[in-house]
Chains A and B, each alone.
Chain A
Amino acid sequence: KAGVTQTPRYLIKTRGQQVTLSCSPISGHRSVSWYQQTPGQGLQFLFEYFSETQRNKGNFPGRFSGRQFSNSRSEMNVSTLELGDSALYLCASSRSGGSNTGELFFGEGSRLTVL
């Protein structure tokens, strides 16, 4: 069974640009969560999607957005990039809904560097 796949793994952008990151969850998982990981702030929750609906959102500015498609694949977008957006962006999928356990399965992340 394939794991969570994130693309691209590494990318470099300059301030003011925008970026789109992609996440393919484990087959059958309908929930996708996104986290930002930085050395200073640790793992910060961005948002969570289930059946194409955003169910929860962390405390990030509106420059951070996401969506989920009917096949459960998800994308997140960051517009007007700032130096502080440099981070590892982690996607996690979960068997959400019904008797869900809450266990998250993580991808290896997309490392974004903003110059």
Chain B
Amino acid sequence: AQSVTQPDIHITVSEGASLELRCNYSYGATPYLFWYVQSPGQGLQLLLKYFSGDTLVQGIKGFEAEFKRSQSSFNLRKPSVHWSDAAEYFCAVGHTGGFKTIFGAGTRLFVKA
């Protein structure tokens, strides 16, 4: 069965510091991988996605993620965090068809001045 693990429940980084959020997945075929962000009281917004091809994908708001098949990982990175990046981040695995996309438990990011 497919599953997603986000080992860090919450992370605190200083504004301007770099960020890496971890994600590991379990999937029987080539996965479609996603990172979503959720601000308080809001729905989820797609940051980036990986389907195939280049394993380093660029997303919105300066985020990027790298797919590593050998490690079953899809970690999210940002070189310099802004206070507005404080939110909850969800890694997800799905497949074509859009049905039953599975989400990780989420990582809440706190940004300190």
Q: Are B43 and A48 closer than 8 Å at their CB atoms?
A: no
What mask results when residues 73 to 96 of chain B are scored 1 for a CB within 8 Å of chain A, else 0? 000000000000000001010111
Contacts of A70 in B (CB 8 A): none
Contacts of A99 in B (CB 8 A): 96
Q: How far is the CB of B30 from chain A (nearest CB, A)?
A: 12
What mask results when residues 56 to 97 of chain A are scored 1 for a CB within 8 Å of chain B, else 0? 101000000000000000000000000000000010101111
Q: Are B106 and A43 closer than 8 Å at their CB atoms?
A: yes
Q: Are A108 and B42 closer than 8 Å at their CB atoms?
A: yes
Q: How far is the CB of A29 from chain B (nearest CB, A)?
A: 9
Q: Give the A-B contact count at a CB cut-off of 8 A.
A: 82
Shortest Cβ distance from A6 into B: residue: B43
A101 CA to B50 CA, complexed, in Å: 10
Q: Are A100 and B97 closer than 8 Å at their CB atoms?
A: yes
A107 CA to B105 CA, complexed, in Å: 19
Is there a chain A Cβ closer than 8 Å to B67's Cβ? Answer: no
Q: How far is the CB of B59 from chain A (nearest CB, A)?
A: 12
Contacts of B96 in A (CB 8 A): 99-102
Is there a chain A Cβ closer than 8 Å to B18's Cβ? Answer: no
A112 CA to B73 CA, complexed, in Å: 34
Is there a chain A Cβ closer than 8 Å to B110's Cβ? Answer: no
Within 8 A of B (CB), among A100-115: 100-109
Shortest Cβ distance from B101 into A: residue: A104
Q: Are A102 and B43 closer than 8 Å at their CB atoms?
A: no
Contacts of B49 in A (CB 8 A): 101-103
Pick from B36, B46, B98: contact of A96, CB below 8 A: B98
A33 CA to B90 CA, complexed, in Å: 17
A31-B98, A100-B97, A102-B96 given; A42·B45 CB < 8 A: no
Is there a chain B Cβ closer than 8 Å to A55's Cβ? Answer: yes
Among the interface residues B94, B95, B102, which one has the most CB atoms of the partner chain A within 10 A?
A: B94
Is there a chain A Cβ closer than 8 Å to B44's Cβ? Answer: yes
Partner-B contacts on A (CB < 8 A): 4, 31, 33, 35, 42-43, 45, 48, 50, 55-56, 58, 90, 92, 94-97, 99-109
